[in-house]
Amino acid sequence: MKFTINRTAFISQLNNVLRAISSKTTIPILTGLKMVIDKEQIVLTGSNSDITIESVINAADPDYGLTVEQPGAIVLPARFFSEIVKKLPDKQVTIEVTDGFQADITSGTAKFQINGQDAENFPHLPEVETDRTITLPNDVLKEVIRQTVIAVSKQESRPILAGIHITLHDGLLTAVATDSHRLAQRKVQLEDVSGIDFDVIIPGKSMNELSGMISDVDEDVKVQVTENQILFIFGNTHFYSRLLEGNYPETSQLIPEMADTTMEVDAGSFLASIERASLLSHESRNDVVKLTLKPSENLVRISSDSPDIGTVEEEVATNALDGADLEISFNPNYMKDALRSFGQSAIKISFTSPLRPFTLVPTEDQENFVHLITPVRTF
């Protein structure tokens, strides 16, 4: 096996595949990067069992300057190999594999020799053969992930909550995540998906990695689903993720339909107020912020205290305030995460009672995105 390639372009593809490679794995060969070379292309593969990323470098693409002298395949130690390539002195790098799976890496006056492994021992990619393919606009997929992944559970006690529940039915894509303390739900109406339905739970970690990768490309993302795998195709990259097995809890009945008190605020300015209040709440053992709403006086106040540090109190500017007077306490970190997911839009927050979950929705699009937070009992 022997090929020469533009080093900078090669590094960009190595970085993509490295996202899937973990140094902590029970399968030693998965710490390696698989390379399969033929006359037309190089296929790079990295996997950690949960996600697998495959990147194709095409010889026809002039950006890569790829010339293949001899096809072949090898698995090289991923982190070590990528660090070598990044530090090589020349614009071009030549990689040649001799007998015994030994790779010679040459660039300018530098030459490395590292030991590889037989590519036949690398786990084979899952076969995703399906005619159920949908296409999602890049920016829509990024937004759906950003707005829901924050509510994915970090606890291992309920593994099913570590994923985002995504369903497609009658053209309506619904993504839901909850850690039992908060919930995020986003809906998107899709076109040209007639006859395609699915119901899957994708690990939050996979979605975070995917979000980081599609930020670097502009094109739409193709999605294919099978029984235990989901495949996202964009650019020259295939991103596979395993699916979580089990039934996701029914969440639709958790979202209250009625409200006794509502307020409308600008998400950005309200976030700044919560961040100031949480400076003290983080120093307190229970870490809560209290929100006092008095529509009768057109007053909204945030307050928090720490026995060791002191107190903070701030009046909040609102765009609208209606209903009954209310005092409610909550975890400020949950509120900050929720507010960031709305960006700079105006939002409506609806309350029913001091101990019932409350909802946040964008005032412009109240049907398709909702965030729910469970309050904290302080008495």
The rounded distance, in Å, linking the Cα atoms of 359 and 319 is 17
How would you classify residue 108: left for phi > 0, otherwise alpha for psi between -120 and 50, otherwise beta?
A: left
Report whether 140 contacts 129 (CB < 8 A).
no
Q: Which structure tokens are listed for 60?
A: 């026809």
Closest CA to 335 of 242, 272, 247: 272
The whole-number pLDDT of residue 2 equals 95
The rounded distance, in Å, linking the Cα atoms of 282 and 270 is 18
The rounded distance, in Å, linking the Cα atoms of 215 and 38 is 29
- Tell me how far CA of residue 89 lies from CA of 66, 75, 289, in angstroms: 18, 23, 55
Report whether 60 contacts 97 (CB < 8 A).
no
Q: For Cα atoms 210, 211, 212, give the angle at the middle one, nearest 5 degrees.
A: 90
DSSP 234: E
**Tens of pLDDT along 119-130?**
999 998 777 767
- Tell me how far CA of residue 46 lies from CA of 2, 20, 65, in angstroms: 20, 5, 23
The whole-number pLDDT of residue 129 equals 66
Threshold 0.85, pTM exceeds: yes
The whole-number pLDDT of residue 8 equals 95
The whole-number pLDDT of residue 379 equals 61
Does residue 16 sit in helix, strand or coil?
Answer: helix
Assign 3-class secondary structure to 336-373. HHHHHHCCCCEEEEEECCCCCCEEEEECCCCCCEEEEE
Residue segments in the chain with a per-residue pLDDT below the cut of 70 = 129, 379
Q: Are β-strands 133-136 and 182-189 bridged in parallel, bridged antiparallel, or unpaired?
A: unpaired
The whole-number pLDDT of residue 26 equals 84
Q: What distance, in Å, lies between the first and last C-alpha atoms of the chain?
A: 71
User: Reduced to 3 DSSP states, what percent helix, strand and coil does the chain have, rounded to the nearest 5?
Assistant: 25, 40, 35
Residue spans of alpha helices (H) in the chain:
7-18, 78-87, 138-148, 204-214, 267-281, 332-341
Element (H, E) at 202: strand 198-203
Closest CA to 106 of 59, 62, 69: 69
